[in-house]
Amino acid sequence: MADKITSPDQLLARAQKAQADLDLRQGRKDTQVTVHMGTCGIAAGARDVVATFMTELSAAGVTSASLHQTGCAGLCEEEPMATITLADGTMYRYGLLDKDKVHTIVTDHLVGGTPVDAYLIKT
């Protein structure tokens, strides 16, 4: 998961990067990445998932996606979860996320256009 902030300098660096990437989170873009942050999601590590998406989207230069949060989706055992919604309304729900999985999802799905089947929640 994302490294814990241990100094004001580290946080400032992250904050400045976030400011520079303000475009990422302004309004709703064609592609929306929504991290589920109900009690279950938070307890499972959703806060770090948000931070990792922020970092990975920025690092990959993805400007067509906006990052959002929402509550519990009723699949608590799959937390931390994120839902990717495309412009045509197609939704992909990923579960049991960690830093590495978020990296793969950003690289393969959001940049490459191929959903990561192995991490999709099968319902």
Partner 1 sequence: MHDLSLYLLDIIENSVRAGATRISVGVTVERAADSLEITVEDDGPGLPVTPHEALDPFFTTKKGKKTGLGLSLFRQAAEAAGGGLSVGRSADLGGAFVRAWMGLGNVDRPPLGDVAASIFTMVATNPEVDFVVDLADGDKRTSLRGSELPQRLPALVAYQEALT
Least Å distance between CB 85 and partner 1?
15
Interface residues with partner 1 (CB under 8 A) are 4-5, 7-9, 11-12, 14-16, 18-19, 25-26, 35, 37-40, 42-43, 47, 50-51, 54, 67-72, 74
Phi-psi region of 45 (alpha: psi -120 to 50; beta: other; left: phi over 0): left
Least Å distance between CB 40 and partner 1?
8
Closest alpha carbon to 79 in 66, 92, 65, 98: 98
Least Å distance between CB 80 and partner 1?
12
Q: Are 94 and 117 in contact (CB under 8 A)?
A: no
Least Å distance between CB 37 and partner 1?
5
Q: Are 80 and 41 in contact (CB under 8 A)?
A: yes
Of 23 and 30, CB closest to partner 1: 23
N-terminal to C-terminal alpha carbon distance within the chain: 26
Of 22 and 118, CB closest to partner 1: 22
Of 49 and 114, CB closest to partner 1: 49
Gap between the Cα atoms of 57 and 44, Å rounded: 21
